[in-house]
Structure 1
Amino acid sequence: MKKKSSATEPAAGPAGPSRVPQYPIESVDNALKVLLLLGERSELRLTDVSEYLGVASSTAHRVLAMLQYRGFVRQNERTKLYGPGTALTGVAFAILQRFDFRTTLRPFLERLHTEFGETVHLGMLDGSMVRFIDAIESPRVVRVTSRLGMSLPASSTSMGKALLAQMTPAERLSLYPNGELEGLTEHSVRLRSELEAQIETVRRRGYAINRQESELEVATVAVAFPPRVAPARLAVNVAAPINRMSVAKQRMIGATVRAVVDEAAELLPAAPTD
Protein backbone atom coordinates (compact mmCIF):
# COMPACT_ATOMS: atom_id res chain seq x y z
CA MET A 1 0.00 0.00 0.00
CA LYS A 2 1.37 3.38 -0.96
CA LYS A 3 1.08 6.07 1.64
CA LYS A 4 -1.26 8.94 0.81
CA SER A 5 0.25 12.38 0.56
CA SER A 6 -0.68 14.92 3.15
CA ALA A 7 -0.35 18.64 3.64
CA THR A 8 2.69 18.17 5.82
CA GLU A 9 4.41 15.61 3.62
CA PRO A 10 5.27 16.52 0.01
CA ALA A 11 3.65 14.21 -2.50
CA ALA A 12 5.99 11.77 -4.14
CA GLY A 13 6.63 12.01 -7.85
CA PRO A 14 5.48 9.35 -10.31
CA ALA A 15 8.65 7.36 -9.79
CA GLY A 16 8.15 7.29 -6.04
CA PRO A 17 9.57 9.28 -3.12
CA SER A 18 12.58 11.45 -3.88
CA ARG A 19 14.87 13.72 -1.93
CA VAL A 20 13.60 17.19 -1.08
CA PRO A 21 15.42 19.78 -3.23
CA GLN A 22 18.12 21.76 -1.51
CA TYR A 23 16.27 25.02 -2.15
CA PRO A 24 12.56 24.16 -2.26
CA ILE A 25 10.08 26.76 -3.52
CA GLU A 26 6.96 26.42 -1.40
CA SER A 27 4.60 28.18 -3.83
CA VAL A 28 5.63 25.88 -6.68
CA ASP A 29 5.31 22.85 -4.44
CA ASN A 30 1.81 23.91 -3.39
CA ALA A 31 0.70 24.36 -6.99
CA LEU A 32 2.03 20.92 -7.91
CA LYS A 33 0.29 19.37 -4.91
CA VAL A 34 -3.02 20.82 -6.10
CA LEU A 35 -2.50 19.24 -9.53
CA LEU A 36 -1.74 15.90 -7.88
CA LEU A 37 -4.90 16.24 -5.80
CA LEU A 38 -6.89 16.79 -9.02
CA GLY A 39 -5.60 13.40 -10.12
CA GLU A 40 -7.47 11.86 -7.18
CA ARG A 41 -10.64 13.97 -7.23
CA SER A 42 -12.66 15.33 -10.13
CA GLU A 43 -13.48 18.62 -8.37
CA LEU A 44 -12.09 20.58 -5.43
CA ARG A 45 -13.48 23.10 -2.99
CA LEU A 46 -11.38 25.97 -1.73
CA THR A 47 -11.55 24.43 1.74
CA ASP A 48 -10.30 21.10 0.34
CA VAL A 49 -7.21 22.81 -1.04
CA SER A 50 -6.65 24.84 2.12
CA GLU A 51 -6.82 21.74 4.32
CA TYR A 52 -4.72 19.63 1.96
CA LEU A 53 -1.94 22.20 1.79
CA GLY A 54 -2.23 23.20 5.44
CA VAL A 55 -2.47 26.88 4.56
CA ALA A 56 -4.96 29.72 5.05
CA SER A 57 -7.87 30.03 2.64
CA SER A 58 -6.38 33.22 1.23
CA THR A 59 -3.15 31.41 0.34
CA ALA A 60 -5.05 28.50 -1.22
CA HIS A 61 -7.09 30.97 -3.24
CA ARG A 62 -3.93 32.63 -4.61
CA VAL A 63 -2.55 29.25 -5.68
CA LEU A 64 -5.82 28.37 -7.42
CA ALA A 65 -6.05 31.80 -9.03
CA MET A 66 -2.61 31.39 -10.62
CA LEU A 67 -3.42 27.87 -11.82
CA GLN A 68 -6.69 29.20 -13.25
CA TYR A 69 -4.86 32.06 -14.96
CA ARG A 70 -2.62 29.55 -16.74
CA GLY A 71 -5.54 27.29 -17.61
CA PHE A 72 -4.57 24.38 -15.37
CA VAL A 73 -7.79 24.61 -13.37
CA ARG A 74 -11.23 26.01 -14.12
CA GLN A 75 -13.94 27.14 -11.72
CA ASN A 76 -17.59 26.23 -12.13
CA GLU A 77 -19.43 29.55 -11.98
CA ARG A 78 -22.47 28.00 -10.32
CA THR A 79 -20.94 25.62 -7.78
CA LYS A 80 -17.62 27.49 -7.34
CA LEU A 81 -15.85 24.11 -7.45
CA TYR A 82 -12.49 23.79 -9.22
CA GLY A 83 -11.77 21.13 -11.84
CA PRO A 84 -9.09 20.36 -14.44
CA GLY A 85 -8.60 23.17 -16.97
CA THR A 86 -7.93 22.94 -20.69
CA ALA A 87 -4.18 23.42 -20.23
CA LEU A 88 -3.97 20.46 -17.87
CA THR A 89 -6.08 18.14 -20.03
CA GLY A 90 -4.20 19.35 -23.11
CA VAL A 91 -0.84 18.47 -21.56
CA ALA A 92 -2.22 15.10 -20.46
CA PHE A 93 -3.51 14.37 -23.96
CA ALA A 94 -0.20 15.41 -25.54
CA ILE A 95 1.65 13.01 -23.25
CA LEU A 96 -0.84 10.22 -23.97
CA GLN A 97 -0.27 10.75 -27.69
CA ARG A 98 3.39 9.83 -27.14
CA PHE A 99 2.52 6.59 -25.38
CA ASP A 100 2.45 3.53 -27.58
CA PHE A 101 -0.89 2.20 -26.34
CA ARG A 102 -2.59 3.41 -29.52
CA THR A 103 -0.06 1.47 -31.56
CA THR A 104 -0.71 -1.56 -29.36
CA LEU A 105 -4.48 -1.28 -29.78
CA ARG A 106 -4.51 -0.42 -33.48
CA PRO A 107 -4.55 -4.06 -34.70
CA PHE A 108 -7.67 -4.69 -32.60
CA LEU A 109 -9.41 -1.69 -34.14
CA GLU A 110 -8.42 -3.00 -37.56
CA ARG A 111 -9.86 -6.41 -36.72
CA LEU A 112 -13.24 -4.89 -35.79
CA HIS A 113 -13.13 -2.66 -38.86
CA THR A 114 -12.50 -5.65 -41.13
CA GLU A 115 -15.14 -7.82 -39.48
CA PHE A 116 -17.99 -5.31 -39.58
CA GLY A 117 -16.95 -2.91 -42.35
CA GLU A 118 -18.03 0.00 -40.16
CA THR A 119 -16.26 2.96 -38.56
CA VAL A 120 -14.37 2.11 -35.37
CA HIS A 121 -13.19 4.56 -32.70
CA LEU A 122 -10.93 4.50 -29.65
CA GLY A 123 -11.85 7.06 -27.00
CA MET A 124 -10.83 8.21 -23.56
CA LEU A 125 -12.78 9.82 -20.74
CA ASP A 126 -11.83 13.45 -20.07
CA GLY A 127 -13.96 14.70 -17.19
CA SER A 128 -17.56 14.57 -18.41
CA MET A 129 -16.45 14.40 -22.06
CA VAL A 130 -15.18 11.64 -24.33
CA ARG A 131 -12.20 12.49 -26.49
CA PHE A 132 -11.87 10.47 -29.73
CA ILE A 133 -8.18 9.57 -30.00
CA ASP A 134 -8.06 7.05 -32.85
CA ALA A 135 -10.38 5.99 -35.67
CA ILE A 136 -10.67 3.84 -38.78
CA GLU A 137 -13.41 5.01 -41.12
CA SER A 138 -15.75 2.64 -42.93
CA PRO A 139 -15.00 2.18 -46.67
CA ARG A 140 -18.72 2.20 -47.51
CA VAL A 141 -20.25 5.10 -49.43
CA VAL A 142 -22.86 5.65 -46.72
CA ARG A 143 -20.94 5.61 -43.46
CA VAL A 144 -20.32 7.30 -40.14
CA THR A 145 -17.45 9.73 -40.60
CA SER A 146 -14.46 9.67 -38.28
CA ARG A 147 -14.69 11.77 -35.12
CA LEU A 148 -10.96 11.70 -34.50
CA GLY A 149 -9.92 14.69 -32.39
CA MET A 150 -13.45 15.57 -31.34
CA SER A 151 -14.79 15.70 -27.76
CA LEU A 152 -18.46 14.94 -27.04
CA PRO A 153 -20.52 14.72 -23.82
CA ALA A 154 -19.99 11.30 -22.26
CA SER A 155 -23.70 10.94 -21.49
CA SER A 156 -24.56 11.23 -25.20
CA THR A 157 -22.08 8.62 -26.47
CA SER A 158 -21.85 4.86 -26.15
CA MET A 159 -18.17 5.01 -25.16
CA GLY A 160 -18.99 7.61 -22.53
CA LYS A 161 -21.79 5.54 -21.01
CA ALA A 162 -19.59 2.43 -20.99
CA LEU A 163 -16.90 4.39 -19.12
CA LEU A 164 -19.33 6.11 -16.75
CA ALA A 165 -20.68 2.67 -15.82
CA GLN A 166 -17.28 1.86 -14.28
CA MET A 167 -17.45 4.83 -11.91
CA THR A 168 -19.09 4.93 -8.49
CA PRO A 169 -22.39 6.82 -8.02
CA ALA A 170 -20.47 9.45 -6.03
CA GLU A 171 -18.02 9.97 -8.90
CA ARG A 172 -20.86 10.40 -11.39
CA LEU A 173 -22.62 12.79 -9.01
CA SER A 174 -19.51 14.97 -8.96
CA LEU A 175 -19.64 15.14 -12.78
CA TYR A 176 -23.37 15.93 -12.87
CA PRO A 177 -24.15 17.70 -9.58
CA ASN A 178 -27.39 19.39 -10.68
CA GLY A 179 -29.06 16.34 -12.23
CA GLU A 180 -29.36 17.86 -15.69
CA LEU A 181 -27.16 16.73 -18.57
CA GLU A 182 -25.94 18.36 -21.74
CA GLY A 183 -27.47 16.76 -24.83
CA LEU A 184 -26.78 16.87 -28.56
CA THR A 185 -30.06 15.70 -30.10
CA GLU A 186 -33.67 15.21 -29.05
CA HIS A 187 -32.75 11.57 -28.30
CA SER A 188 -29.97 12.46 -25.83
CA VAL A 189 -30.25 11.61 -22.14
CA ARG A 190 -31.11 14.81 -20.28
CA LEU A 191 -31.47 13.70 -16.65
CA ARG A 192 -28.96 12.03 -14.36
CA SER A 193 -31.68 9.67 -13.11
CA GLU A 194 -32.25 8.45 -16.66
CA LEU A 195 -28.52 8.04 -17.17
CA GLU A 196 -28.28 5.97 -13.98
CA ALA A 197 -31.01 3.65 -15.26
CA GLN A 198 -29.15 3.20 -18.55
CA ILE A 199 -25.92 2.52 -16.70
CA GLU A 200 -27.54 -0.39 -14.88
CA THR A 201 -28.40 -1.85 -18.28
CA VAL A 202 -24.83 -1.30 -19.49
CA ARG A 203 -23.47 -3.21 -16.50
CA ARG A 204 -25.91 -6.06 -17.01
CA ARG A 205 -25.17 -6.67 -20.68
CA GLY A 206 -21.51 -5.56 -20.75
CA TYR A 207 -21.74 -2.98 -23.52
CA ALA A 208 -23.34 0.43 -24.11
CA ILE A 209 -25.41 1.67 -27.03
CA ASN A 210 -26.15 5.04 -28.56
CA ARG A 211 -29.05 5.37 -30.96
CA GLN A 212 -29.18 8.89 -32.42
CA GLU A 213 -28.07 10.47 -29.13
CA SER A 214 -24.94 12.15 -30.47
CA GLU A 215 -25.99 12.46 -34.11
CA LEU A 216 -29.22 11.72 -35.95
CA GLU A 217 -29.33 8.50 -38.00
CA VAL A 218 -26.21 7.16 -36.24
CA ALA A 219 -26.00 4.18 -33.88
CA THR A 220 -22.98 2.92 -31.96
CA VAL A 221 -22.02 0.07 -29.65
CA ALA A 222 -19.14 0.45 -27.19
CA VAL A 223 -17.19 -1.49 -24.59
CA ALA A 224 -14.87 0.03 -22.00
CA PHE A 225 -11.49 -1.37 -21.09
CA PRO A 226 -11.24 -2.58 -17.49
CA PRO A 227 -10.37 0.33 -15.17
CA ARG A 228 -7.34 -1.61 -13.92
CA VAL A 229 -5.45 -0.97 -17.17
CA ALA A 230 -3.41 2.14 -17.96
CA PRO A 231 -2.77 4.78 -19.10
CA ALA A 232 -6.33 6.17 -19.20
CA ARG A 233 -10.01 5.27 -19.08
CA LEU A 234 -10.42 3.84 -22.59
CA ALA A 235 -13.26 2.45 -24.69
CA VAL A 236 -13.87 1.21 -28.23
CA ASN A 237 -16.98 1.67 -30.35
CA VAL A 238 -18.35 0.48 -33.67
CA ALA A 239 -20.45 3.15 -35.39
CA ALA A 240 -22.89 2.65 -38.27
CA PRO A 241 -25.91 4.27 -39.93
CA ILE A 242 -28.92 3.34 -37.81
CA ASN A 243 -30.54 1.35 -40.64
CA ARG A 244 -27.57 -1.07 -40.49
CA MET A 245 -27.73 -1.44 -36.71
CA SER A 246 -30.66 -3.72 -35.87
CA VAL A 247 -31.11 -4.93 -32.29
CA ALA A 248 -29.76 -8.35 -33.30
CA LYS A 249 -26.73 -6.76 -35.00
CA GLN A 250 -26.23 -4.59 -31.94
CA ARG A 251 -26.06 -7.67 -29.68
CA MET A 252 -23.66 -9.43 -32.02
CA ILE A 253 -21.35 -6.42 -32.23
CA GLY A 254 -21.49 -5.98 -28.45
CA ALA A 255 -20.42 -9.57 -27.83
CA THR A 256 -17.62 -9.34 -30.39
CA VAL A 257 -16.26 -6.03 -29.11
CA ARG A 258 -16.31 -7.37 -25.53
CA ALA A 259 -14.16 -10.33 -26.57
CA VAL A 260 -11.73 -8.12 -28.51
CA VAL A 261 -11.41 -5.64 -25.65
CA ASP A 262 -10.76 -8.45 -23.15
CA GLU A 263 -7.98 -9.74 -25.39
CA ALA A 264 -6.49 -6.30 -26.01
CA ALA A 265 -6.57 -5.40 -22.29
CA GLU A 266 -4.06 -8.15 -21.59
CA LEU A 267 -1.46 -6.18 -23.58
CA LEU A 268 -1.88 -2.94 -21.62
CA PRO A 269 0.02 -2.22 -18.40
CA ALA A 270 -1.81 -2.41 -15.09
CA ALA A 271 -2.85 0.90 -13.60
CA PRO A 272 -1.11 1.86 -10.34
CA THR A 273 -3.04 1.13 -7.16
CA ASP A 274 -2.92 2.75 -3.75
Structure 2
Amino acid sequence: MQKPSLAGMERDSTGKPPQYPIESVDNALRLLLLLGERSEIRLTDASEYLRVASSTAHRLLSMLQYRGFVRQDPASKAYQPGPSLTNVAFAVHSRMDIPRTAAPILRQLVDTLQETVHVGTLDGRLVRFIAALESPSAVRVISRLGSTRPAHCTSTGKVLLAGLSDDELDQLYPDPHLEPLTEHSVRTLTELRTQLAEVRKSGFAISRQESEEGVASVAVAVPQGGSGIRLALNASAPSYRFRPSDVREACSALKDAAAELARNLG
Protein backbone atom coordinates (compact mmCIF):
# COMPACT_ATOMS: atom_id res chain seq x y z
CA MET A 1 0.00 0.00 0.00
CA GLN A 2 1.36 3.42 -0.91
CA LYS A 3 2.33 5.96 1.69
CA PRO A 4 -0.44 8.53 2.33
CA SER A 5 0.18 11.71 0.38
CA LEU A 6 0.57 15.09 2.01
CA ALA A 7 -2.73 16.15 0.49
CA GLY A 8 -4.33 13.11 2.05
CA MET A 9 -2.88 13.92 5.45
CA GLU A 10 -4.20 17.47 5.25
CA ARG A 11 -7.67 16.17 4.37
CA ASP A 12 -7.54 13.93 7.43
CA SER A 13 -7.75 16.98 9.66
CA THR A 14 -11.08 18.12 11.12
CA GLY A 15 -11.82 19.91 7.86
CA LYS A 16 -12.95 23.00 9.75
CA PRO A 17 -10.38 25.74 10.41
CA PRO A 18 -10.13 27.14 13.94
CA GLN A 19 -11.99 30.32 14.76
CA TYR A 20 -8.76 32.26 15.20
CA PRO A 21 -6.18 30.64 12.91
CA ILE A 22 -2.49 31.48 13.35
CA GLU A 23 -0.94 31.38 9.91
CA SER A 24 2.66 31.01 11.07
CA VAL A 25 1.80 27.98 13.22
CA ASP A 26 -0.15 26.44 10.36
CA ASN A 27 2.77 26.96 7.96
CA ALA A 28 5.26 25.43 10.40
CA LEU A 29 3.04 22.37 10.82
CA ARG A 30 2.65 22.07 7.06
CA LEU A 31 6.43 22.01 6.72
CA LEU A 32 6.59 19.12 9.20
CA LEU A 33 3.97 17.26 7.15
CA LEU A 34 6.09 17.92 4.05
CA LEU A 35 9.07 16.34 5.82
CA GLY A 36 6.88 13.31 6.42
CA GLU A 37 6.81 12.81 2.64
CA ARG A 38 10.37 13.80 1.80
CA SER A 39 13.69 12.92 3.36
CA GLU A 40 14.74 16.58 3.12
CA ILE A 41 13.52 19.94 1.86
CA ARG A 42 15.34 23.00 0.59
CA LEU A 43 14.51 26.63 1.32
CA THR A 44 13.12 27.03 -2.21
CA ASP A 45 10.88 23.96 -1.70
CA ALA A 46 9.46 25.44 1.51
CA SER A 47 8.95 28.85 -0.04
CA GLU A 48 7.19 27.47 -3.13
CA TYR A 49 5.06 25.00 -1.19
CA LEU A 50 3.82 27.60 1.32
CA ARG A 51 3.68 30.34 -1.32
CA VAL A 52 5.60 32.72 0.91
CA ALA A 53 8.77 34.75 0.51
CA SER A 54 12.10 33.00 1.04
CA SER A 55 12.73 35.16 4.08
CA THR A 56 9.47 33.97 5.67
CA ALA A 57 10.24 30.34 4.91
CA HIS A 58 13.72 30.79 6.36
CA ARG A 59 12.32 32.18 9.62
CA LEU A 60 9.94 29.23 9.95
CA LEU A 61 12.68 26.70 9.29
CA SER A 62 15.03 28.50 11.68
CA MET A 63 12.49 28.22 14.49
CA LEU A 64 11.90 24.54 13.74
CA GLN A 65 15.67 24.07 13.76
CA TYR A 66 15.97 25.90 17.09
CA ARG A 67 13.47 23.47 18.66
CA GLY A 68 15.18 20.48 17.09
CA PHE A 69 12.39 19.53 14.68
CA VAL A 70 14.66 19.99 11.67
CA ARG A 71 18.40 20.06 11.15
CA GLN A 72 20.34 21.58 8.28
CA ASP A 73 22.87 19.51 6.39
CA PRO A 74 26.13 21.50 6.51
CA ALA A 75 27.13 20.45 2.99
CA SER A 76 23.88 20.58 0.98
CA LYS A 77 22.13 23.19 3.23
CA ALA A 78 18.95 21.15 2.90
CA TYR A 79 16.71 20.67 5.92
CA GLN A 80 16.15 17.15 7.28
CA PRO A 81 14.11 15.69 10.17
CA GLY A 82 15.72 16.67 13.47
CA PRO A 83 16.02 14.78 16.77
CA SER A 84 12.85 16.26 18.25
CA LEU A 85 10.79 15.08 15.30
CA THR A 86 12.39 11.64 15.50
CA ASN A 87 11.68 11.48 19.22
CA VAL A 88 8.01 12.31 18.63
CA ALA A 89 7.82 9.60 15.94
CA PHE A 90 9.33 6.98 18.23
CA ALA A 91 7.06 8.07 21.08
CA VAL A 92 4.11 7.35 18.79
CA HIS A 93 5.69 4.02 17.87
CA SER A 94 6.04 3.10 21.53
CA ARG A 95 2.43 4.03 22.30
CA MET A 96 1.35 1.79 19.45
CA ASP A 97 3.50 -0.83 21.22
CA ILE A 98 5.00 -2.33 18.10
CA PRO A 99 7.28 -4.66 20.14
CA ARG A 100 4.29 -6.16 21.98
CA THR A 101 2.26 -6.49 18.77
CA ALA A 102 5.22 -8.09 16.99
CA ALA A 103 6.22 -10.43 19.86
CA PRO A 104 4.01 -13.45 19.01
CA ILE A 105 4.84 -13.07 15.32
CA LEU A 106 8.57 -13.01 16.08
CA ARG A 107 8.20 -16.09 18.31
CA GLN A 108 6.55 -17.98 15.46
CA LEU A 109 9.29 -16.88 13.07
CA VAL A 110 12.02 -18.06 15.43
CA ASP A 111 10.23 -21.39 15.90
CA THR A 112 10.05 -21.79 12.13
CA LEU A 113 13.48 -20.52 11.10
CA GLN A 114 15.54 -21.13 14.25
CA GLU A 115 17.32 -17.83 13.54
CA THR A 116 17.36 -14.36 15.12
CA VAL A 117 14.66 -12.01 13.81
CA HIS A 118 14.19 -8.23 13.99
CA VAL A 119 11.70 -5.47 13.24
CA GLY A 120 13.40 -2.32 11.93
CA THR A 121 12.44 1.15 10.77
CA LEU A 122 14.21 3.78 8.69
CA ASP A 123 15.64 6.76 10.57
CA GLY A 124 17.26 8.99 7.95
CA ARG A 125 20.24 7.08 6.59
CA LEU A 126 20.11 4.65 9.51
CA VAL A 127 18.05 1.61 10.39
CA ARG A 128 16.82 1.41 13.97
CA PHE A 129 15.88 -2.00 15.33
CA ILE A 130 12.80 -1.66 17.55
CA ALA A 131 11.90 -5.30 18.24
CA ALA A 132 13.88 -8.54 18.16
CA LEU A 133 14.01 -12.15 19.30
CA GLU A 134 17.17 -14.25 19.33
CA SER A 135 17.62 -17.72 17.91
CA PRO A 136 17.73 -20.58 20.44
CA SER A 137 20.81 -21.98 18.65
CA ALA A 138 24.11 -21.97 20.53
CA VAL A 139 25.74 -20.23 17.57
CA ARG A 140 23.49 -17.35 16.64
CA VAL A 141 23.36 -13.68 15.69
CA ILE A 142 23.02 -11.48 18.76
CA SER A 143 19.98 -9.20 18.91
CA ARG A 144 20.47 -5.66 17.59
CA LEU A 145 17.51 -4.36 19.60
CA GLY A 146 17.80 -0.60 20.24
CA SER A 147 20.84 -0.17 18.03
CA THR A 148 21.27 1.47 14.64
CA ARG A 149 23.20 0.55 11.50
CA PRO A 150 23.79 2.41 8.21
CA ALA A 151 20.81 1.51 6.05
CA HIS A 152 22.87 0.74 2.95
CA CYS A 153 24.80 -1.97 4.83
CA THR A 154 21.78 -3.97 6.03
CA SER A 155 19.06 -6.04 4.40
CA THR A 156 16.46 -4.21 6.53
CA GLY A 157 17.75 -0.84 5.36
CA LYS A 158 17.91 -1.81 1.72
CA VAL A 159 14.37 -3.18 1.59
CA LEU A 160 13.13 0.08 3.16
CA LEU A 161 15.28 2.25 0.88
CA ALA A 162 13.78 0.39 -2.09
CA GLY A 163 10.45 1.95 -1.15
CA LEU A 164 11.79 5.48 -1.69
CA SER A 165 11.58 7.41 -4.94
CA ASP A 166 14.71 8.34 -6.92
CA ASP A 167 14.39 11.94 -5.74
CA GLU A 168 14.10 10.86 -2.09
CA LEU A 169 17.16 8.65 -2.49
CA ASP A 170 19.15 11.53 -4.04
CA GLN A 171 18.16 13.80 -1.17
CA LEU A 172 19.10 11.15 1.39
CA TYR A 173 22.48 10.47 -0.22
CA PRO A 174 23.86 13.68 -1.75
CA ASP A 175 27.38 12.16 -1.69
CA PRO A 176 27.81 9.33 -4.26
CA HIS A 177 30.38 7.65 -2.01
CA LEU A 178 29.03 5.54 0.87
CA GLU A 179 30.90 4.70 4.06
CA PRO A 180 31.45 0.91 4.30
CA LEU A 181 31.32 -1.14 7.51
CA THR A 182 33.14 -4.17 6.08
CA GLU A 183 34.97 -5.05 2.89
CA HIS A 184 31.67 -6.47 1.57
CA SER A 185 29.64 -3.26 2.07
CA VAL A 186 28.15 -1.21 -0.75
CA ARG A 187 30.49 1.71 -1.43
CA THR A 188 28.76 3.84 -4.06
CA LEU A 189 25.28 5.19 -4.67
CA THR A 190 25.37 3.67 -8.17
CA GLU A 191 25.95 0.21 -6.72
CA LEU A 192 23.21 0.78 -4.16
CA ARG A 193 20.74 1.82 -6.87
CA THR A 194 21.50 -1.40 -8.78
CA GLN A 195 20.82 -3.47 -5.67
CA LEU A 196 17.61 -1.58 -4.88
CA ALA A 197 16.31 -2.23 -8.41
CA GLU A 198 16.77 -5.96 -7.74
CA VAL A 199 15.05 -5.63 -4.37
CA ARG A 200 12.00 -4.04 -6.02
CA LYS A 201 11.80 -6.95 -8.47
CA SER A 202 12.29 -9.75 -5.95
CA GLY A 203 10.46 -8.23 -2.97
CA PHE A 204 13.29 -8.93 -0.54
CA ALA A 205 16.80 -7.71 0.28
CA ILE A 206 19.91 -9.62 1.29
CA SER A 207 23.02 -8.57 3.18
CA ARG A 208 26.00 -10.92 3.11
CA GLN A 209 28.57 -9.80 5.69
CA GLU A 210 27.92 -6.15 4.76
CA SER A 211 27.26 -4.88 8.28
CA GLU A 212 29.32 -7.43 10.19
CA GLU A 213 31.78 -10.15 9.20
CA GLY A 214 30.27 -13.61 9.41
CA VAL A 215 26.65 -12.40 9.51
CA ALA A 216 24.06 -12.63 6.72
CA SER A 217 20.42 -11.59 6.65
CA VAL A 218 17.32 -11.34 4.50
CA ALA A 219 14.53 -8.78 4.94
CA VAL A 220 11.07 -7.96 3.59
CA ALA A 221 9.03 -4.79 3.98
CA VAL A 222 5.90 -4.79 6.13
CA PRO A 223 2.93 -3.63 3.99
CA GLN A 224 1.88 -0.14 5.03
CA GLY A 225 -1.58 -0.14 6.51
CA GLY A 226 -3.47 2.48 8.45
CA SER A 227 -0.47 3.11 10.71
CA GLY A 228 1.52 4.58 7.81
CA ILE A 229 4.74 3.40 9.48
CA ARG A 230 7.54 2.01 7.33
CA LEU A 231 8.75 -1.22 8.92
CA ALA A 232 10.65 -4.29 7.80
CA LEU A 233 11.23 -7.80 9.16
CA ASN A 234 14.55 -9.59 8.88
CA ALA A 235 16.07 -12.94 9.72
CA SER A 236 19.78 -12.95 10.58
CA ALA A 237 22.10 -15.95 10.66
CA PRO A 238 25.77 -16.89 10.65
CA SER A 239 26.76 -16.59 6.97
CA TYR A 240 27.75 -20.28 6.68
CA ARG A 241 24.11 -21.23 7.42
CA PHE A 242 22.75 -18.89 4.74
CA ARG A 243 22.37 -21.08 1.65
CA PRO A 244 19.96 -20.27 -1.25
CA SER A 245 17.43 -22.75 0.12
CA ASP A 246 17.61 -21.01 3.51
CA VAL A 247 16.95 -17.65 1.84
CA ARG A 248 13.87 -19.01 0.06
CA GLU A 249 12.49 -20.52 3.26
CA ALA A 250 13.16 -17.34 5.23
CA CYS A 251 11.56 -15.11 2.57
CA SER A 252 8.37 -17.15 2.54
CA ALA A 253 8.06 -17.09 6.33
CA LEU A 254 8.98 -13.39 6.55
CA LYS A 255 6.38 -12.34 3.96
CA ASP A 256 3.62 -14.19 5.80
CA ALA A 257 4.74 -12.66 9.09
CA ALA A 258 4.95 -9.16 7.57
CA ALA A 259 1.39 -9.41 6.27
CA GLU A 260 0.17 -10.52 9.71
CA LEU A 261 2.04 -7.69 11.45
CA ALA A 262 0.52 -5.15 9.05
CA ARG A 263 -2.98 -6.46 9.80
CA ASN A 264 -2.41 -6.35 13.54
CA LEU A 265 -1.02 -2.80 13.45
CA GLY A 266 -3.84 -1.81 11.02
Match of 1:272 in 2: none
Farther off after superposition, 258-267 or 204-213:
258-267
Aligned to 1:126, which of 123, 126, 136?
Answer: 123
C-alpha change, 1:29 and 1:68, in structure 2 (3 Å) is same
**Any conservation in 2 of the 1:210–1:221 contact (CA below 8 Å)?**
yes
Give the helix-richer structure, 1 or 2: 2
Aligned to 1:235, which of 226, 232, 250?
Answer: 232
Aligned to 2:7, which of 4, 17, 41?
Answer: 4
Match of 1:162 in 2: 159
Match of 1:30 in 2: 27
Tell me which amino acid in the other structure corresponds to 1:33: R
1:204 equivalent in alignment to 2:207 = no
Match of 1:254 in 2: 251
**Percent identity of equivalent pairs:** 52
Alignment of 1:81-160 (within 5 A): 81-160=78-157
Partners of 1:209 and 1:3 in 2: CA distance: 31
CA displacement at 1:85 relative to structure 2: 0.6
Partners of 1:2 and 1:42 in 2: CA distance: 14
**Any conservation in 1 of the 2:224–2:262 contact (CA below 8 Å)?**
no
Match of 1:16 in 2: 14
Partners of 2:93 and 2:257 in 1: CA distance: 22
C-alpha change, 1:27 and 1:203, in structure 2 (3 Å) is closer
Match of 1:8 in 2: none
Instruction: Give TM-score scaled by structure 1 length.
Output: 0.87
Partners of 1:238 and 1:70 in 2: CA distance: 38
Farther off after superposition, 252-261 or 41-50:
252-261
CA displacement at 1:148 relative to structure 2: 1.0
Please, which runs of 5 or more residues in structure 1 have no aligned partner? 6-10, 270-274
CA displacement at 1:192 relative to structure 2: 1.3
Tell me which amino acid in the other structure corresponds to 1:4: A
* Deviations 1:100-133, CA, capped at 9 Å, x for gaps: 4443332211111111222110011222221111
* RMSD of Structure 2 on Structure 1 (CA): 2.3
Tell me which amino acid in the other structure corresponds to 2:158: K
**Any conservation in 2 of the 1:128–1:153 contact (CA below 8 Å)?**
yes
CA displacement at 1:14 relative to structure 2: 4.8
CA displacement at 1:13 relative to structure 2: 7.6
Tell me which amino acid in the other structure corresponds to 2:178: L
1:222 equivalent in alignment to 2:225 = no
Tell me which amino acid in the other structure corresponds to 1:255: S
Instruction: Give TM-score scaled by structure 2 length.
Output: 0.89
Partners of 1:239 and 1:211 in 2: CA distance: 10
Farther off after superposition, 252-261 or 206-215:
252-261
Match of 2:76 in 1: 79
Alignment of 1:170-209 (within 5 A): 170-209=167-206
Tell me which amino acid in the other structure corresponds to 1:105: A
Tell me which amino acid in the other structure corresponds to 2:162: A
SS in 2 for 1:113: helix
